[in-house]
Amino acid sequence: MHRELIKKKITPVIEKRLREMKESGDNYVSPIDILQRYTELLHKDYTIDIDVVTDNMIISIFASVYNTSNSLTFCLHELVNNPQFLKEILEEQKQLYKSNEKSYYSTEQIARMEKLDSFIKETLRVNVNNVALQHKTLSSYFTFSNGYQVPKGRLVNIRLGEVHFDKELQSQTADEFNAFRYLKKNSPATRADNSFLTFGLGKHTCPGRHFAVNEIKVALHYLLLNYDIKKSTSEKIKPKIYGSFKFPSDEGLIFEKKSV
């Protein structure tokens, strides 16, 4: 049912874009979204198999949900690993809840969760995959500042772990978890730059990062206000590492409902 709905919605959009691409040629201005990416990659002579595009869209939707839930789990683990930050983060949530007179929060109110935002960004910094963001050399070769050259067609990955733990980029405390590292620095969790590559960089920066971070904020806001969250053991919860990838631990957490 969901697959057919997605197919129904994207079909007229893709058909319209293919017509415009054919008519405009080199003057066509490509929309910057994932549907356009699939359209450009999968079409042949301006015809395309909509079923293939639909399947790719479903995979992308699954991946986005998977990544968001992983990030939320990392946040919960860092909360219990670093209880020294909990009091200030919780107080921020209480103040926002008290000041709200409606049954929902506006985006402006969610943006006021500054301490929680900094905590989320720090969680994403320290739990980044060690290697990711694969690129392909399209020119005849690419030359780095040190003179090293990468030939055309070579696949290159970025060592995100080294960037996120580099002391020149992150300060001398790069190896430590500091929930308020980004507080009052005009550096929200959604901002990608050369020192924070969780969401990529440039025009291919994750387009759903604002939605994902707000989802995580709202989920943590609810959980913090309604539950006391604890580790099931005294040991620090560490991520699982498979090759260059990091995944949340399978370690259980204890959620105790707060009294009204």
Binding residues: 206
Annotated binding site for heme: 206
C-alpha 256: how far from chain center: 28
Distance CA 206, CA 209 (A): 6
Here the tokens at position 3 are 């697959």
Q: Give counts: helices (H), strands (E), the chain.
A: 9, 8
Strand 141-143 relative to strand 227-231, pairing: unpaired
Here the tokens at position 18 are 């293919």
One-character DSSP codes across 101-169 = -SSS--HHHHHT-HHHHHHHHHHHHHT--SSEEEEE--SSEEE-TTS-EEETT-EEEE-HHHHHT-HHH
* Sign (positive or negative) of CA dihedral 239, 242, 243, 248: negative
Distance CA 43, CA 26 (A): 16
Cβ-Cβ contacts under 8 Å for 225 (sequence gap 6 or more): 90, 93, 94, 97, 258
Smallest CA-to-CA distance from 107 within 188, 223, 206, 196 is with: 188
